[in-house]
Amino acid sequence: MKILGIDPGTLIAGYGVIEKSGAEIKAVAYGSIKTGKNQNFPERLKTIYTGVTELISMYKPDHMAVEEVFYGKNFKAAIKMGEGRGIIFLCAAMANIPIAEYAARVVKKAVAGNGNAHKGKVQEMVKAILGLPEIPQPEDASDALAIAICHSHRL
């Protein structure tokens, strides 16, 4: 079973595709969808849409998972992030792929065993779980793989 995890962002959206077979989980692909800093916001959303639909077409995931929005004090950024996530949900719906969302703490607990784990610990665990020679880069891709791993534990 293939799972496409996405760490949403309107400048950089990380992605990670994993394949789960029994207890074994392996990385299939990971990277990022980058929008241009000079693109207007609708163009950024279009870039995310195109990137996610290409990933779906290329890897044919059975499931998708995305991180929930955390906005802290910047409400405007949370709204923009929500709009980007809406594009990701639309892509999943258009391809009839079930999609789940997880809070960052849930992802950290699933991958590192502690919902308060720091980013470095989560990245090391992603590397170990997937048997990779190094921590996946960019950071957004490592986060996306963690989201996919979290979802795989719930299937």
**Catalytic amino acids?**
7, 67, 140
- CA of residue 109 relative to chain centroid, distance: 16
User: CA distances (Å), 120 to each of 116, 134, 140, in order?
Assistant: 12, 12, 12
User: CA distances (Å), 123 to each of 20, 87, 135, 139, in order?
Assistant: 19, 26, 6, 8
Token digits of residue 91? 């892509």
